Structure 1
Amino acid sequence: MCYSVSYLTHKNEIYARRLGIPTDKETSFFAQLDQIRNYIGVAWYRSGFEFPGLPVLTFFPELKVIPGFWGLIPHWAKSKDKQKDLIKHTLNARIETLLEKPSFKKATEKNRCIVMLDGFFEYKHIEKKAHPYYITYLDKRPMLIGGIYEIAPDNIPFSITLSIVTKPGNALMTEIHNKSQAGEPRMPLILEGDYLQKWTSSPAQEAIQECKNLEINNLTAIPVGSLTGKNGIGNKPQAHINIHLNPTSQ
């Protein structure tokens, strides 16, 4: 799951409030956000398998907004062929096995981050047909998603590579993500309040134990038109428009 995401613009002040950015630091923070968005472009819809850049918050030694390459490359993957093969499998990282998987262990222990998104896309399968939904907050505020990263090798045009961390789905995702390759509904690790600091600052095992049980229920699933293919919407504002589709009536 979570192989397609969205991030937009003009939400600087909301991010600043949610992250507790001091007033005297806001100008620098806003400039970083604008610079990153100009660099990676606006995304209404992005597939992970395009390996796009995503806006990322890192906190050591200080808070910075940087572009991250979606598809984590572990430090031990030296050859380009190995790296190319790995990134197809490291778009997401299951929170339950972060410290078990060789690709994720070091990043989880040393390099946890926050991915800045407006929402993500998921498919509901009904009678062999997949219906896309855009998942976002009810009040449309931006999401802050737990991630892990590694310093990027020289051949990658970003300073870091990253994975989005996932956890078992809530009630909404159980309804929507009803044909998961993982065998169960999944969702991104959406963080709020004190859990932002817990994820980025606590020891790895403690961060996992505390954050994996955070319940996020103030979400909505918006049915949208076909995103890909010959007649797909692609990276356009229409990717967020409710088409008033009722799949159960099809």
Structure 2
Amino acid sequence: MCFSTSLRKNREEIEKKLLSQMPANFKIPLEYEPYYHLNGFTHGNFYIIKMDEQESIYPASWGLVPDWAKQDPKSFLKKSNTLNARSETIFEKSSFKQSAEEKRCLILADGFYEPHHENGLSIPYFCYQPSEEYPEGDLFMFAGLYTELDDNLFTATIITIEANDFFSEVHNKKKRMPLVLAEDLYEDWLDDGSNSQTLNELMAHGFTSNKFQAHPVSRDLYKKGINTNKPYIVVPVEKNTLF
């Protein structure tokens, strides 16, 4: 599962970073605002790079609405949780099948939150990739699927896979993790010539080799009526359990 993410870098930092990975610029630059905590259940915008326009970054509402539900997306989202798509079933489920075949995307992030269960309590952990340039968390890409509801109006979902050893300790109940792609597989994920067999192999083996770190953060993340889109929400709490 992955229902909360962060993208704390400014537009210039992101576009500069992408120059060495997959050059792309924000299509609507004035609309972009960094965030410390995006809660998927609010269906706010994160940012994607699409198969058919790989040089552009677009906002997309989190929670995929399939083409057959686009006439009433609010009703669909009330009944269906499409914030994540399990890699094992994206070519089978009607909500995801067409997008898996024709509309794959990369989703920009520099962190995400997972629940860690301990003594009957769910503790949110912030997960990130430290680097020399960004010790607080470098930019990475989730594998995703998208749909287009109208001109430049997109919805998207994050692919999840079985957790590796590290994330089995973090997300120790469901043991799932979002598919953070290795940089050398970005183009393969967006390749319109890839078939389901190739994509299934990519999802099974394409998780980045870059190391993640994780630490516990405030349980405000789980509380209603609190604005957690603030810097404090990524700061480690006193519980010093670090993976």
1:51 pairs with 2:54: no
Higher mean alpha-carbon deviation, 53-62 vs 101-110, is at 53-62
Distance (Å, rounded) in 1 between the aligned partners of 2:130 and 2:52: 32
Distance (Å, rounded) in 2 between the aligned partners of 1:238 and 1:148: 31
Contact 2:84/2:160 (CA < 8 Å) preserved in 1? yes
Q: 1:152 aligned to 149, 152, 162, which one?
A: 149
Q: What amino acid maps onto 1:203 in structure 2?
A: S
Measure how far apart 1:195 and its partner are.
1.0
Contact 1:135/1:221 (CA < 8 Å) preserved in 2? yes
2:4 aligned partner: 4
1:243 aligned partner: 237
Size of the aligned set, in residue pairs, is 229
Q: 1:194 aligned to 184, 197, 204, which one?
A: 184
Contact 1:189/1:212 (CA < 8 Å) preserved in 2? no
Measure how far apart 1:141 and its partner are.
1.2
1:118 aligned partner: 110
Distance (Å, rounded) in 2 between the aligned partners of 1:153 and 1:203: 26
Measure how far apart 1:76 and its partner are.
0.8
1:169 aligned partner: 163
User: Does the C-alpha gap of structure 1 residues 149 and 204 become closer, same or farther in structure 2, counting only changes over 3 Å?
Assistant: farther
- Equivalent position SS for 2:189: helix
Distance (Å, rounded) in 2 between the aligned partners of 1:47 and 1:81: 17
Distance (Å, rounded) in 2 between the aligned partners of 1:14 and 1:79: 37
Measure how far apart 1:59 and its partner are.
3.5
Q: 2:77 aligned to 84, 89, 105, which one?
A: 84
Contact 2:106/2:141 (CA < 8 Å) preserved in 1? yes
Measure how far apart 1:128 and its partner are.
1.0
**TM-score of the two chains, using structure 2 as the length reference:** 0.85
CA RMSD of aligned residues (A): 2.3
1:72 aligned partner: 64
User: Unpaired segments of 5 or more residues in structure 2?
Assistant: 132-136
Q: CA offsets, 1:65-93, max 9 Å, x none? A: 1000101111111335542335x411000
User: Does the C-alpha gap of structure 1 residues 91 and 231 become closer, same or farther in structure 2, counting only changes over 3 Å?
Assistant: closer
1:24 aligned partner: none
Measure how far apart 1:196 and its partner are.
0.7
- Equivalent position SS for 2:52: coil
2:134 aligned partner: none
User: Does the C-alpha gap of structure 1 residues 115 and 61 become closer, same or farther in structure 2, counting only changes over 3 Å?
Assistant: closer
Measure how far apart 1:138 and its partner are.
2.8
Contact 2:161/2:203 (CA < 8 Å) preserved in 1? no
User: Unpaired segments of 5 or more residues in structure 1?
Assistant: 22-28
User: Does the C-alpha gap of structure 1 residues 99 and 224 become closer, same or farther in structure 2, counting only changes over 3 Å?
Assistant: same
**How many percent of aligned residue pairs carry the same amino acid?**
27
Structure 1 moving runs of 4+ over 4 Å: 230-233
**TM-score of the two chains, using structure 1 as the length reference:** 0.83
